[in-house]
Structure 1
Amino acid sequence: MGYTEKQQTLVNSSWEAFKQNLPHYSVLFYTFILEKAPAAKDMFSFLKESDGVPKDNPKLNAHAEKVFGMVSDAAVQLVAKGEVVLGDATLGGIHIQNGVVDAHFVVVKEALLKTIKEVAGDKWSEELNTAWEVAYDGLAAAIKKAMS
């Protein structure tokens, strides 16, 4: 069974909720990443020079918005085409340049899912979690393919 329109709708509705409080959820997302992998701080230009995760940082917010937006786009592509194709051909090279390895994708996935659980609140469900997880996995596979 492929990715469903219902899964896409679940991702899109929680993506809209994420954007409603982008600064808060962006900080939460990077806090979750650094809790799991403190050394990842050096991989993000907007975190290198700060203690912890800076609040009200436009670069941090923009990057989080891009990550979550790409996962939302991946959900759309999975319904439409059954696969995820990167819109930005430079993503593979950027990830290589920053030293990203498979383990980093796992950390980001965990942080993303924890953030979505916070975003969703009482609307959180295993079905919502799975919808985001499958979309993220599709995006991660496309980025890894571009890295090889």
Structure 2
Amino acid sequence: MTPEQVNLVQQSFVKVAPISEQAAVMFYDRLFEVAPQVKAMFPSDLTEQRKKLMATLALVVNGLSNLAAVLPAASALAKRHVNYGAKPEHYPVVGGALLLTLEKGLGAAWTPEVAAAWTAAYGTLSGYMISEAYDKSQAAE
């Protein structure tokens, strides 16, 4: 990611923070719409899960300028997700739900540059998380 992309992600996330609860609802609604099979990995009451999602996003977004500081937490999170049943093929689905949520939440502020920055950020983190959580044979499946 370029410094400009990091800046775009961080600036745009500031605009999402005030609607974090609605954004989290949109995210999970979209995720379960496109991948209903993953719903079983989550509690029936998503209140705490939505808070965790937004807190984790805030941590990652704020840490993008010092990615090395975020990577240990991302690695631990990825490994926990394996225990919940997450597979490498779930990451692009989650990314799509996240990007759509951001697009809806940001409205006119969702520019091609912001979209590219978020795509780069998610690609960087999800690629790292997949490599940390799965051995090479699983990641290639």
Decide which of 105, 112, 119 is 1:133's aligned counterpart: 119
Question: For residues 30-53 of structure 1, what are the alpha-carbon distances to aligned partners after superposition, in whole Å with 9 as ceiling and x for unaligned?
Answer: 1110110011111122xxx35xxx
- Structure-2 separation of matches of 1:60 and 1:19: 16
**2:50 pairs with 1:40:** no
Percent identity over paired residues = 26
**2:95 pairs with 1:109:** yes
Residues 75, 129 of structure 2: 8 Å contact kept = no
The CA RMSD measured in Å over matched residues stands at 2.2
For the structure 1 residues 119 and 71, does the alpha-carbon distance in structure 2 shift closer, same or farther, using more than 3 Å as the test?
Answer: farther
Residues 27, 101 of structure 2: 8 Å contact kept = yes
| Aligned equivalent of 2:61 | 72
Residues 75, 133 of structure 2: 8 Å contact kept = no
**2:128 pairs with 1:142:** yes
| Aligned equivalent of 2:49 | 60
For the structure 1 residues 138 and 88, does the alpha-carbon distance in structure 2 shift closer, same or farther, using more than 3 Å as the test?
Answer: closer
Q: TM (normalized to structure 1)? A: 0.78
| Aligned equivalent of 1:10 | 8
Which sections of structure 1, spanning at least 5 residues, go unmatched? none
- Structure-1 separation of matches of 2:32 and 2:63: 25
Higher relative contact order (CA 8 A, sep 6+): 2
| Aligned equivalent of 1:22 | 20
